[in-house]
Structure 1
Amino acid sequence: MATESSLTAPAPVTGAGTTRFAEGGVSVTVDVRLLGLVEVRVDDGVVALRGDIPKALVSRLALSAGDIVSAEELIADVWPQPPANVLSTLRAHLSRLRAAGLGAHLVGARGGYSLDVPADRVDLLRLRAELAAATRLPASEERLAALGEIAARAARDPLPGLDAIPFVAAVRARHLADRRVLEEDLGEQALDLGDTALATSVLAGTAQRHPFDERPVRLLATALSRSARIPDALTAIDAFTTRLQDERGVDPSARLQALRASIVRVDPEVVTHRTGAAVRRVGVGIPLTRFVGRADDLARLRERRRDRRLITIVGPAGVGKTRTAVELAREATTALDDEQYMVDLADFRQPDEVVAAIAAVVRARELTMDAIVRRLRSGRILLLLDNADHVLGALAVAVDRLLQGTEGVRIVVTSREPLRLSGEEVVVLRPLVGDAHADAWRLFAERAADARGGYGFDDGELDEARALCAELEGIPLALELAAARLDVLDAAQVREGIGAHASPRGRHDSVRTAIDWTFGQLSEPQRELLQETSRFAGAFTVGAVSGASGRPWADTVTLLDELVGKSLLAVERGSTGRRRFRMLESTREYLTEREDPARAAMWRLRYRWWFADLTTTLGPTLRTFEARDSMAVLDDFRADLTEAFETAVLAGDRDAAVRLAAGQAQYWFLRGLMVEGRSRLERALELPGDATSLDGIAWLELANLAYQTGDAAAGFGAIARARGEGERLADPSVTAVALAREAYGRAIFGQADLGENLLAQAQHLTGEAQAWARAEVHMSEGQIRRAQGRTDDALQALRSSYRIAASIGYTWMITTSKYVTAKTLVDARRPKEAIDVAVGAVEEARANEDAAGALAVVFVIAGACAFVERHEIGVRLLGAVEEIGRQYDYSTAAVEGEDAARLRASLSVGMTPTEFAHQYEQGRRCGWPDVREMLARLPRREFSMAADPSRADTDASP
C-alpha cells in the first residue's frame, strides 16, 4: 500500500498548447479559480470543496503551483488556531480531497505536499503573468486594451469568504498592490494617448483604495486638469495633503506641490495633452477582444491606403469586414492621419439619411454634402463608412462628390458589394479556409478559451472541436457564435446543435445557421433584450438599454454580459471611457424579421423619454466643468439622439421634442452645428401643445443659434419669446439673460435709454439667477459699454463675466469674455494687451474643440496687428481665418459685420493692393500650426483678467 510520502507526480502530457496529466492512461486537466470564487475543476467536473479548510488547503497549494509546501508551513498558513491533532486532521482533509476528484494531482512527498498543476491553470497566477507581459508592450492602443482587460479581471477579490485563514491577508495585500500598479499603468497609458475619461474613471478608484499613496493622486489630478476640471484636480491634491498631514504627520512631496502650482497657473505643459502621436478619432471604438489573424489582408490594406483614396472591403456576412477596418484605423498614427471618423450606415435606407449621417459624425455645420466637403477640405482624414450594403447608390454619389472636393480624405467602405466607382480599390475578405485555416482555428480556440474562463480544449475534445471549426467554413462570426456556447456545452453538443439547424443552402449560410441556433438557445429574457437592442440606431450603454426596456439596472447588466458572452453583441470602449455595446449587422438583419410592431411602439416611447431625460440632465452641465465629459456622452449617443428627436416629432410629443432640443442646444453650438441645432429647436417649438418648463431655455438657445447663423432679426424675435417664457415661469436666469441680450440689441440700434432700462432690470434679477446667467448678463453689459466707448466700465464688466464663468467652467463664456475684452483693448489702442488676452483665449478654445471661437479670436488678433506694425502678419492671419473657417462654415463677414470691413481697412494702410493680396494668399495656405507660430512672434504686454477682489464673493458664488 503506497504511503503519502511515496506518491509521485504523474507524467505530463502536452496537447493543444496546454499541459495535461495522465492518470490511468487518460489525460485530464486541472484548473483552479481563486478570483471571485474558489473552485477547482478536473476536466468538466467541479471538485466538491466542503468548508473553509479544504478551500484554503487547495488555494494555498495552488499558489505554489507544483512546488512542495511543507506540512508545518501548510498548517501555519491555513489554521488560525491549529488543534492538538492538526497533522492527522491535515492528512484527513487531503485524503478527502483526493477522493473528491483531485486524485493523484494532490501529491505527498517527504518534504510536504503539492498540487500538481501548471501555473497558467491557476487564474491568479495567470493574471500576474499576463500583467507582467502587458507591461512589456510598447505604448500603444494595444497595450491600453490589454491593460484594460486585465484590470477588469483584477477587480475581482481573491479568495472570497476565507477572511479568517492566516495566509489570505498576505495574498490579498499583494493582489491589491499588483492591482494598484496595474491601474496606475493603465491610467498613465490612457493619459499618454489622450483618453482622460478612462484615466479619471480608473484612477479615482485607485486613489480611494490607497489613500496615502501619492502617485495615483498625481495621475488623477493630471487627468482631471486635462478634462478642464481644475477645481476637482485641486480638491484631489488638497484632500490627499490634509489626509497625509493629519494622519501621518508628513507633508506631500515637492513634486506634488509643483503639480498643484502648475494646475493653478493652468500651465499648458501640465493641463494639455502633449503627445504628438495621437490621432483624433470619432466613432472608432476600442475593441475589447484581441484581433486574430488576417495578417496578409491587413498588410495589403496598409499598402493600398497609402496610394489609393477609396478602398472598399467586401466579403460575405460575418467575415470580419468591420473589425478589420477598425484594426486598420486604430494601428495608424499621425504619420498617416490627423483625424479619423467612422459612420455606421446599417440602419439607413434613404439617400438623404446617408448624407445626414456622415455630416453628423464629421461635425459639418449643415447636413449637406457641401458642408461635409468644406469640413473635410483640409488635413489628412480617414473616413470609415461601415455596413454600406443597403445604401450603395446614394453612398456612391456622396463618396464621388467628397473625393472630387477634397485632397486629403481617404475613404474605407465595408460592404458585401463594391461601389463600382472609378479609382475604387476592392479588397476581398475571404473566409478563413485553405491556407488561412490556421487563423480560423486560432480564433476559434481563443474565443472558446475566453468562454471557458481561459481554459482550452482537452485531448478528448480536440477532434470534435476541429471538425466543428471546419464545418463553420472559416466565417469569423459563426466561429465566435459557436465558441461562445462552449461555456456550458462541449464541442460535440455544439456541433450537433448547429448541424440540426443547418440550411439546405449549405456553406454560404453558416452565419445565419449559427445565429438561428444560438437564438434558439437563449432564455426568453435574453431574446427580448436582444430584440430591443436591435432597435438602437448606434452604440448603446447599460443605462440606455435599462431605461428603454424598463428593466432594473442589475438585470440589464447580467443579460447584456450574457449576450456579449454569446457573441450576439460586440463590446468596445467609447470616447467616455465607458463600455458600450454594438449589434452586428448580421444579427440585426435576423432580428428585423422577428420584430413585433406593438412591442416596438411601446419600447420607442420609453426610448425617446429616456433620451429626453438624459439631455435634460446633461444640458445644464454644458456650462460647467463637466462640459467635456457631457459632450463626449452626447457624441457617443449622436445617432440615437437624432432618432429619438425624430420619433418625438413624428409622434407630436412636444414635451419630449423640446427637452431633446433644449438639452442639446449648447452642445450643437459648441460643436459648430448651428444650422442643425437651429432647425431642431424651431421644429420642436413649432409643435402644437402647451409650453413646457424648458421653453424659456429653448427660445434663449434658439436666439443664440439664429444670431450665429447670421439671422439677427430671428435672434431678437427669439429673445423676446425667451423673456416672455422666463417671466411666465418666474425663472430669473432665463429672464435676466433675455433682458440683457435685448438691452444690447436696443443699445446698438440707437435706443440707448431703453437699453439701459432693460439692463438695469436684468441686473436686478442677477441676485437670484444662476452663475451662468450672471456671467452672460455681465457679458452683455461689457458689450454695451464697449459700444458706448466706456473702456474702463466695459473691462470691469467683462472681467466679472470671465471670473464667474471660470469659477464654474463655462467654457464658451470664458472664451467670449476674452474675445470681447481683446476687441475692447484694440478699440482703446492697447494692442499688445489685446494680443496677450487673445492668444490665451485661442489656446483655450482649441483645447475645448471650439474651432469657431478660436477663429473669432484670431480675427481680433489680426486687427491688433495693425497697431503693432505687423500688418503683413495681420493680413496672413486674416487669410488663414477665412480659409480654415470654410471647414466650419465660419464667415467673418457674417459674424463680425462692420468690424470685418474696419479690420481690412486698418490692415491695408501702408500696403499696396498687390502686397495685401499676396499676404492674404499666403495666409490661405496656413493651417493651425502656422497660425500658432505667427501668434508666438507678436509683441505682447501682460493683461490680467482678474477682477476687483472686493466683488469676488458676490459675483463668483454658484
Structure 2
Amino acid sequence: MAASVHGGRIGNLPAEANAFIGRRLELAEISGLLGTERLVTLTGPGGVGKSRLALRAAHAAKDEFPGGAWLVELSELRDADLLANAVAQATRLTEQTLRPLLDAVCEHLAGAPLLLLLDTCEHVLDECARVVQELLAHVPELHVLATSRQPLGVPGEHLLAVAPLPLGEHDDAVALFAARAAAAVPSFTLTEANRAHVAAVCARLDGMPLALELAAVRLRGFPLDRLLEGLDSRFDLLVSPARPRLARHQTLRTAIGWSHELCTPLERLLWARLSVFAGGWDVEAAEFVCHGGPLDAEEILALLASLTEKSITTRDGEGAAVRYRMLDTVRSFGAEWLTGLGEEEAVGRRHREYFRWVARQGEAEWLGPGQRMWAERLTAEHANLRVSIEASLAAEEPETALELTGSLWYFWFACGFAEEGRGYLERALRRAPEGGGPEHSRAVWAHRLVTVVPDDLEAAESVSAAYVWLAEERRLPVSALPLTGASLAVRGESARSAVLYGTTAGRSPAGDGGAEFHHLLTLALQAYLLASQAAFERCAVVAERLRADCARRGELWMRAWGDFFIALAGIGLGRAEEALGPAREALAAKVRVHDRLGAAAVADLLVAAQAAHGEEELAARLLGVSRNLWHSAGLPQLGDPSSTVFHREYERRLRALLGEAPFAEAVREGGELGTDAAIALALGGVSGPMGL
C-alpha cells in the first residue's frame, strides 16, 4: 500500500521555522531535476545550507508527488544498520513482519509518485547508497532528494554542489544576515550606513548560512563593529544560545568538527597542513608543502580527491590548471589543528621554501614562451606569495624576504602590482643586514624599477604637454600622442633611466633574466624618446627591432610595447588605420599577462587612434574605459581629465566634435562597462573573459 496521509496532509515535512532567503537559481534547478532525475544529491561543506535548501525544495515540489514528500532525518542515526528502520518510521510504516524490513518499505512506498528526502547521509554513506539503490530499483514511482557532504555513489545519481551565498552588498548573504538580525534584535535595520559592515561580516564568514545565522544572534550582546572584530576568534564567538537546534549546528566549531570526524587520520593531517595555503593551491604545491612523516607525497593526490568528495576542499579547472581551495572557515579550523599538532612552524617554512622556488623559476622563464603561463600562475598564487613574504618578514628571515621580493620584480612591474611590490621591497631592505650581497643588490634594483615618485609623474606630464604643443604647431592629427601613459609605463625619463640599467658590463643585478629585460627595455626607451621628438620613422624602426627580439624569445609583454610604439608612430605619421591593428595586439597581450598599467596606456593610444580615424563617439567611450583602467592600475590621477594633459586635451576636442550631451553619454557608457566588456570594446568587439 502507498504511504499514508498523516495529520490531514500527505508527507511529514516540518514547517519552516522562518523565511527562506535567496537561492532562487538553485531552487529552480532542483525543481527541474526532480522532474527528470530519480536521485538528486545536494553536496557541500557543513553549514552551507544543504538541509534548509532541500527542505524548501521539497515543500515547493510536494504538490507534484501525490504519494507525499517525506523527510528522513539521519543526523542522529549512529548505527547504519538501522537506516531502513529510520525510513520505515519516517514514512509511517507500522506493519510488523518477519520478512526483511527493506522489502516491506519498498511495498509500503509503491503506488503514487512520492519524494523521499534523506537528510545528512555522509556518516552512514555506504548503507545509504545500498538502501537508496534498492528503493529505486523496486519503487519505480520514487524520487530521492539527498543531502550529504560527499556523493552517495549510486548509479544514476545527479549531483548539485551547494555553494555559499553570494557576498555582494546587495546579495543573498547580506539579506540573510539582515533578516536573522532583525529577528534577534527587533531594532536592527539594514541601512546604507551599516551595509558595508554587514557585508564585511558576511565576507569574513564566507557567506556560510549557518555562520551568518549564528553571528546575527550575537548582535544581542555585541554591536556590529565589535562583532566584526570578534570574528578573528569565530569558533568561540559563534555559539548558539540554548534552543532547539540539531547538535551538529549548535556551534560553528561543532558543525565543521562533524566533517572532521568523518575523515581518516591522514585526511585530517592533510587538512591541517593545507591550512597554510591562502587562495588555493595546485597538486605540486600540496605535495611539496604537506608531505612528511606518515604522509607520503605520492598519497596526496588521492587524499585531495577524498577531501574534495567530502566537501572539505573544492576543485576548479582541468588538466594542468587544476587548483584546490578551502573556505576560510574550514581553513581556520585546520589551522587550529595544525597548531595543536605542533607543526605550524615546519609546514610554514616549507610553504616559504616552495614559493621562493616558484619566484626564482618564474624569473628565469619570464622573458620567453612561458610568459603568459607565469603571469597566470603568479596571479593565481598572489595570496600565497603575500603569505610567504609576510611570514619571512615576521620570522626574521631577511635573506628569504629579499630573495622573494627581489625575484618577483617581473611580477610587480609587469603584472600591475608595482605599489605592492614597492612596499614589500622597502620592508625587506629595511630588515636587511649591512654589507649587501647579490640578493640585496637585486632587491635594490627591483625597488628602483617599480618606484614611481612625483618627479616621474611630472616628467611624464611635461613630455605629454610638449607633444600637445608640438601637435598644435605642426598641425598634426587630432590625436595628440598619449605619452603620459607610455612614459610612465616604460620609465622613459632620461634623467632617471640609468637606475634601471643595473651594474657594470650591461648586466642587471637580476641575473640573466634581468639582463635580457635591460636590453629590451633599452629599445623601448629609445622608441619612446624618438616618438617624443616626433621622429616617427626612426621610432618605428626601433620598435620593429624590439618586436623581433621579443618574438625570438617567444616573449609577449615587452613585444606589446613594440606594437604600442609602432601604432604610436603610425598615428604620428597620419596613418591611423594602420595603427589600429598593432594597438589592439598590444592591448590583447597586456591583458593576457595581467599588465594593468600597460593596458591603461594602450587604451589611451586607442582613444587617439579611433579619434584620428574619425570614430569620435567610439573614442569617447574608450576615454571612459581608459579612465577606469588607470584607476584599476592604481594610478587614478592618469585617468582624471582635470589633472592629465592627454585626457584634458581629448575631452576638449571630442566634446567639441560630438557636442556636450553625446560626449558625456559616450564617456559614461564606456566608464560603466565591466572589465571584460571594456576590453572587448577596445579590441573591436572580441568577446569572452579576458582575465585582466
Tell me which interval the TM-score lies in, with the shorter structure as reference length.
0.5 to 0.7
Deviates more, 1:884-893 or 1:833-842: 884-893
Residue aligned with 1:793, SS:
helix
Deviates more, 1:540-549 or 1:641-650: 540-549
Deviation at 1:624, TM superposition (A): 2.8
> Which fold has the larger relative contact order, with Cα–Cα distance below 8 Å and residues 6 or more apart in sequence?
2
Pairs within 5 Å for 1:477-876 = 512=257, 515=260, 522=265, 531-548=272-289, 551=292, 555-558=296-299, 561-562=302-303, 565=306, 567=310, 570=313, 572-574=315-317, 576-578=320-322, 580=324, 582=326, 585=329, 589=333, 592=336, 595-596=339-340, 599-689=343-433, 691-707=436-452, 712=456, 744-746=492-494, 770-876=515-621
Residue 417 of structure 1 is matched in structure 2 by: 212
Q: Normalising by structure 1, report the TM-score.
A: 0.40
Residue aligned with 1:824, SS:
helix
Q: Which residue of the other structure, out of 654, 667, 679, is the alignment partner of 1:920? A: 667
**Alpha-carbon distance between aligned partners in 1 of 2:663 and 2:369, rounded to the nearest angstrom:** 42
**Alpha-carbon distance between aligned partners in 2 of 1:646 and 1:761, rounded to the nearest angstrom:** 35
Unaligned runs of 5+ in 2: 1-32, 34-42, 62-118, 123-146, 152-157, 182-187, 201-205, 218-245, 461-487, 686-692
**Alpha-carbon distance between aligned partners in 2 of 1:920 and 1:605, rounded to the nearest angstrom:** 50
**Alpha-carbon distance between aligned partners in 1 of 2:496 and 2:323, rounded to the nearest angstrom:** 50
The superposition leaves residues 469-513 of structure 1 with CA deviations (integer Å, 9 ceiling, x where unpaired) of xxxx8979xxxxxxxxxxxxxxxxxxxxxxxxxxxx99x968747
Any conservation in 1 of the 2:539–2:565 contact (CA below 8 Å)? no
Distance 1:511 1:664, change over 3 A: same
Residue aligned with 2:161, SS:
helix
Deviation at 1:911, TM superposition (A): 5.9
Any conservation in 2 of the 1:619–1:663 contact (CA below 8 Å)? yes
> 2:161 aligned with 1:327, yes or no?
yes
Deviation at 1:614, TM superposition (A): 1.9
> What is the letter of the counterpart of residue 853 of structure 1?
G
Aligned-residue sequence identity (percent) comes to 15
Residue 359 of structure 1 is matched in structure 2 by: none
Any conservation in 1 of the 2:364–2:513 contact (CA below 8 Å)? no
Distance 1:513 1:415, change over 3 A: closer
Distance 1:555 1:773, change over 3 A: same
Residue 73 of structure 1 is matched in structure 2 by: none
> What is the letter of the counterpart of residue 800 of structure 1?
R
**Alpha-carbon distance between aligned partners in 2 of 1:771 and 1:584, rounded to the nearest angstrom:** 41
Pairs within 5 Å for 1:893-932 = 893=638, 897-907=644-654, 910=657, 916-917=663-664, 919-926=666-673, 929=677, 932=680
Q: Which has the larger radius of gyration?
A: 1
Residue aligned with 1:652, SS:
coil
**Alpha-carbon distance between aligned partners in 2 of 1:786 and 1:301, rounded to the nearest angstrom:** 70
**Alpha-carbon distance between aligned partners in 2 of 1:711 and 1:552, rounded to the nearest angstrom:** 55
Distance 1:402 1:852, change over 3 A: farther
**Alpha-carbon distance between aligned partners in 2 of 1:619 and 1:677, rounded to the nearest angstrom:** 15
Residue aligned with 1:817, SS:
helix
**Alpha-carbon distance between aligned partners in 2 of 1:763 and 1:541, rounded to the nearest angstrom:** 35
**Alpha-carbon distance between aligned partners in 2 of 1:512 and 1:768, rounded to the nearest angstrom:** 48
**Alpha-carbon distance between aligned partners in 2 of 1:685 and 1:715, rounded to the nearest angstrom:** 27
Residue 134 of structure 1 is matched in structure 2 by: none
Residue aligned with 2:315, SS:
strand
Any conservation in 1 of the 2:248–2:258 contact (CA below 8 Å)? no
> What is the letter of the counterpart of residue 161 of structure 2?
E
Residue aligned with 1:539, SS:
coil
Deviation at 1:647, TM superposition (A): 1.0
Distance 1:631 1:292, change over 3 A: farther
Distance 1:403 1:509, change over 3 A: closer
Any conservation in 1 of the 2:621–2:666 contact (CA below 8 Å)? yes
The superposition leaves residues 863-901 of structure 1 with CA deviations (integer Å, 9 ceiling, x where unpaired) of 234433443432332133224554554536279954444
The superposition leaves residues 44-103 of structure 1 with CA deviations (integer Å, 9 ceiling, x where unpaired) of xxxxxxxxxxxxxxxxxxxxxxxxxxxxxxxxxxxxxxxxxxxxxxxxxxxxxxxxxxxx
Any conservation in 2 of the 1:685–1:695 contact (CA below 8 Å)? yes
**Alpha-carbon distance between aligned partners in 2 of 1:760 and 1:905, rounded to the nearest angstrom:** 47
Q: Which residue of the other structure, out of 400, 403, 413, is the alignment partner of 2:195? A: 400
**Alpha-carbon distance between aligned partners in 2 of 1:745 and 1:553, rounded to the nearest angstrom:** 58
Any conservation in 1 of the 2:416–2:594 contact (CA below 8 Å)? no
Any conservation in 2 of the 1:564–1:571 contact (CA below 8 Å)? no
Distance 1:614 1:383, change over 3 A: farther
Moved over 6 A (4+): 291-295, 300-303, 318-326, 381-385, 396-399, 402-405, 473-476, 713-716, 740-743, 757-761, 763-769
Deviation at 1:859, TM superposition (A): 1.4
The superposition leaves residues 266-321 of structure 1 with CA deviations (integer Å, 9 ceiling, x where unpaired) of xxxxxxxxxxxxxxxxxxx999xxx9998746969999xxxxxxxxxxx99x9879
Any conservation in 1 of the 2:281–2:381 contact (CA below 8 Å)? yes
Deviation at 1:636, TM superposition (A): 4.1
Distance 1:697 1:475, change over 3 A: same
> What is the letter of the counterpart of residue 574 of structure 2?
R
**Alpha-carbon distance between aligned partners in 2 of 1:583 and 1:934, rounded to the nearest angstrom:** 36
**Alpha-carbon distance between aligned partners in 2 of 1:326 and 1:399, rounded to the nearest angstrom:** 34
Pairs within 5 Å for 1:139-158 = none
Residue aligned with 1:745, SS:
coil
Deviation at 1:782, TM superposition (A): 1.0
> What is the letter of the counterpart of residue 657 of structure 1?
A
Distance 1:803 1:694, change over 3 A: farther
Deviation at 1:779, TM superposition (A): 0.8
Distance 1:842 1:328, change over 3 A: farther
Any conservation in 2 of the 1:863–1:874 contact (CA below 8 Å)? yes
> What is the letter of the counterpart of residue 605 of structure 1?
R
Any conservation in 2 of the 1:542–1:557 contact (CA below 8 Å)? no
Deviation at 1:664, TM superposition (A): 3.5
Distance 1:696 1:514, change over 3 A: closer
Distance 1:705 1:297, change over 3 A: farther
Any conservation in 2 of the 1:791–1:828 contact (CA below 8 Å)? yes
Any conservation in 1 of the 2:273–2:335 contact (CA below 8 Å)? no
Any conservation in 2 of the 1:748–1:787 contact (CA below 8 Å)? no
Distance 1:650 1:884, change over 3 A: closer
Residue aligned with 2:296, SS:
helix
Residue aligned with 1:829, SS:
coil
The superposition leaves residues 403-451 of structure 1 with CA deviations (integer Å, 9 ceiling, x where unpaired) of 999xxxxx95444233649xxxxxxxxxxxxxxxxxxxxxxxxxxxxxx
Residue aligned with 1:417, SS:
helix
> What is the letter of the counterpart of residue 564 of structure 2?
Y
Deviation at 1:691, TM superposition (A): 3.4
**Alpha-carbon distance between aligned partners in 2 of 1:678 and 1:926, rounded to the nearest angstrom:** 30
**Alpha-carbon distance between aligned partners in 2 of 1:807 and 1:403, rounded to the nearest angstrom:** 53
